[in-house]
Amino acid sequence: MAQIIDGRLVAEQVKSVVKEKIDQRLSDNLRPPGLAVVLVGDDPASEVYVRNKRKTCDALGVKSISHNLSSDVGQAELLALVDALNNDETVDGILVQLPLPSQIDANVVLETIRPDKDVDGFHPYNIGRLAVRMPTLRPCTPYGVMKLLESTGEAIRGKHAVVVGASNIVGRPMGLELLLAGCTVTSCHRFTEDLASFVKQADIVVVGVGIPDLVKGAWIKPGAIVIDVGMNRLESGKLAGDVEYLPAAERAGWITPVPGGVGPMTIAMLMQNTLYALETFHS
């Protein structure tokens, strides 16, 4: 059976370093990092994510600024709020929780956030910096995956990594992160023919598509590292990933569980990004 990559443990290690640095800032009479979280509407999943982010801010000493807007808010009003936060010197990071209601163009909102406050790492400027091997603020989930890979102690330079999924939030920046680490990267997506043939070649498999058990355990190359970004709630209420877990775990060398794998890393890297933004751009 594969060794389990414990995302909760690695996330706690990241957060511990962040808290230590923030405590040091406070003892030096310096201000803590400030994170503004904007929630539009009352999507239950978004509310849970935002609540967890705020709890983590409190635990680490990050100043959390909350803005809850109604689901019928206009785009101009939301952009005006983002502009105000851009100009607030106590705010180091701005996070607008996705998805947004249909009357709002999410791309316009994300591009309005100043790149030096884009702690989600979604702004085209920050994605571009990652693409040209000059990363600054990096997308949280792919950055967290790199921390998980590092935690295995396995050398990944030169290895063949297959990324299943090509979203702007996970798949595309994930490929860029793996390239930056020296991997040979194959990107698979909904138009890929014979997905199994690509997965079977992979030393590292990262899957983030939102389809339960899309990647079959029999496809996993013996000894491969399997990172499952998927988080799907089944009709039974149980959470499942995008990888057929038990058969995959019988073949893989390392594997992330769902839950408890990638999920905890996203918020941990958000906290690290917020501190980085303060120290790098706003001190």
Residues assigned a catalytic role: 53, 97, 120
Strands (E), 119-234: 160-164, 184-188, 204-207, 225-228, 232-233
Give me 203's structure tokens.
């030393």
Burial tier of 78 (Cβ tally within 10 Å: 0-12, 13-18, 19+): buried
Q: How many residues would you count in the chain?
A: 283
SS (H, E, C) 37-98: EEEECCCHHHHHHHHHHHHHHHHHCCEEEEEEECCCCCHHHHHHHHHHHHCCCCCCEEEECC
Task: Give the three-state DSSP class for 252.
Answer: coil
* Cα(101)–Cα(190) distance, integer angstroms: 25
The amino acid present at 87, given as its one-letter code, is: N
Helices (H) and strands (E) in the chain, counts: 10, 11
- Taking alpha carbons only, the member of 8, 13, 65 closest to residue 39 is 65
